[in-house]
Amino acid sequence: MIEPNSELIIDYELVRGNIQAIKSILPANCKIMGIIKSNAYGHDLEKSTHAMDDVIDGYGVVRLEEALKIREISLKPILAMQGVYSSDAYDILKKNNIWSVVHSMSQLPLAKQYQDDLLFWIKVNTGMNRLGIAIDELDQFQSLLKDSNVLMTHLACADNPKDKLNNTQFENFDHAWNHLENNMQRSILNSAGVFNFPDQAYDWVRPGIAMYGGIDFPGLKTAMTFRSQIISIQFLDKNERIGYGGRVKTKKPSKIAIVYCGYADGFPQTAIDGTSVIVNSYQSKIIGRVSMDLISIDITDIPDCKIGDWCELWSPDLSIVKNANKNNLISYELMTKMSNRVKRKHLNV
Ligand SMILES: *Cc1c(COP(=O)(O)O)cnc(C)c1O
């Protein structure tokens, strides 16, 4: 075995496959603003841009520097989703043809100065109460409410279609849009919204997590493989305790493998016993507390398992969603918390 390392392998063919799955449920004229904030949810901003440029219609980011990196690679629309806050930043948007969201009254004076130079997405608050202009404040934005601009909102509960807040938000959005004098384009849906409410797609949708396979819907696959090698194997009797705190006791004679990966690599420290991993195509489970650099797993029932074998923490065959749900976490957080020391490999860019 060469020096072991934890690895994050990103397969962009899977990202493109996920985008096709998103497209397959949308009307043909609906455009996709692929959300690649936070380093493309940990999938590498630049490589993701290269990989998806011919299958999406635009990019949504949060930080201005992300927008500028994409602009070096792609000529497609880029939206600064949380807006900008100074005339210096507006000048940069103008120079690089980057669109901006306006989500608050405080942004209005500057946005008006640039209203003829930039394309704006006007964000209304329909009930999430995070970002967005109150609907009754919209009339103060008159000069920005024009055909070339987009009216947008964001759903608080898109992942739970039974939640009544979804319909409240749709009604509030309809109300706002129906009172406009112009025929603005519309954008409501994030990933879960696309799958749960495709009839609300309108002109633009804004999927992020679905492109990376971080939610469970038909046709989506976890596009990253997080794995590391086994560096030690312990043969234990019944009633022996494992790891820090000795939180777990063997119920029978057991074979335990120690994997070269821990919370300092980005695997959640809080992972509970029974969290699934895959070794040599067999399901195995975490047993004992996750340490900074090591994870212990039960390989009692896995034939021929040896030092140097790879253990997958999540992968296309072991959904990151399953792992997240089991531990009351969300895939978004797992994806964006992968640490720098994990060795990156990129397939099918
Ligand atoms: C992050 C974000 C999205 C994408 O959300 P996903 O759940 O990852 O699809 C869409 N719209 C806005 C405004 C966002 O902040």
Q: In Å, how far are 32, 33, 55 from 58, measured between CA atoms?
A: 6, 4, 9
pLDDT at 1: 59
For residue 64 the two structure tokens come to 């201005």
Place of tokens 């990989």: 51
Name the residue of 154, 159, 206 whose CB sits within 8 Å of the most ligand 1 atoms, as the mutation to test its pocket.
Answer: 206
- Report how far residue 299's alpha carbon sits from residue 230's, in angstroms, rounded to the nearest whole number: 11
Q: Which residues does 199 contact at the CB level (< 8 Å), separation at least 6?
A: none
Distance (Å) from CA 163 to ligand 1 centroid: 18
244 is catalytic: yes
Taking alpha carbons only, the member of 345, 262, 253 closest to residue 311 is 262
Catalytic pick among 85, 95, 238, 244 = 244
**Amino acid letter at 171?**
E
For residue 142 the two structure tokens come to 């008159």
- Report how far residue 217's alpha carbon sits from residue 261's, in angstroms, rounded to the nearest whole number: 29
Closest residue by CA, ligand 1 atom 13:
154
Distance (Å) from CA 312 to ligand 1 centroid: 28
Phi-psi region of 156 (alpha: psi -120 to 50; beta: other; left: phi over 0): alpha
pTM of the predicted structure, to 2 decimals: 0.96
The values of phi and psi at residue 85, to 5°, are -135, 10
The values of phi and psi at residue 133, to 5°, are -80, 140
Indicate whether residue 154 lines ligand 1 (CB < 6 A). yes
For residue 8 the two structure tokens come to 């994050």
pLDDT at 344: 98
- Report how far residue 30's alpha carbon sits from residue 179's, in angstroms, rounded to the nearest whole number: 23
Distance (Å) from CA 154 to ligand 1 centroid: 8
* Domains with residue ranges and CATH for the chain: 12-212 (3.20.20.10), 224-315+317-347 (2.40.37.10)
Q: Which residues does 280 contact at the CB level (< 8 Å), separation at least 6?
A: 302, 304, 305, 309, 310
Q: Kindly give the pairing relationship between strand 224-236 and strand 7-11.
A: antiparallel
Closest ligand 1 atom to Cα of 152: 13
The residues facing 59 across adjacent strands are: 34, 78
Contact in structure between 325 and 248 (CB atoms under 8 Å):
no
Burial group, residue 235, by CB count within 10 angstroms (0-12, 13-18, 19+)? exposed
Indicate whether residue 191 lines ligand 1 (CB < 6 A). yes
- Report how far residue 74's alpha carbon sits from residue 66's, in angstroms, rounded to the nearest whole number: 12
**Secondary element (H or E) of residue 242:** strand 241-242
37 is catalytic: yes
pLDDT tens over the chain, length 349 residues: 568 999 999 999 999 999 999 999 999 999 999 999 999 999 999 999 999 999 999 999 999 999 999 999 999 999 999 999 999 999 999 999 999 999 999 999 999 999 999 999 999 999 999 999 999 999 999 999 999 999 999 999 999 999 999 999 999 999 999 999 999 999 999 999 999 999 999 999 999 999 999 999 999 999 999 999 999 999 999 999 999 999 999 999 999 999 999 999 999 999 999 999 999 999 999 999 999 999 999 999 999 999 999 999 999 999 999 999 999 999 999 999 999 999 999 999 9
- Report how far residue 223's alpha carbon sits from residue 242's, in angstroms, rounded to the nearest whole number: 32
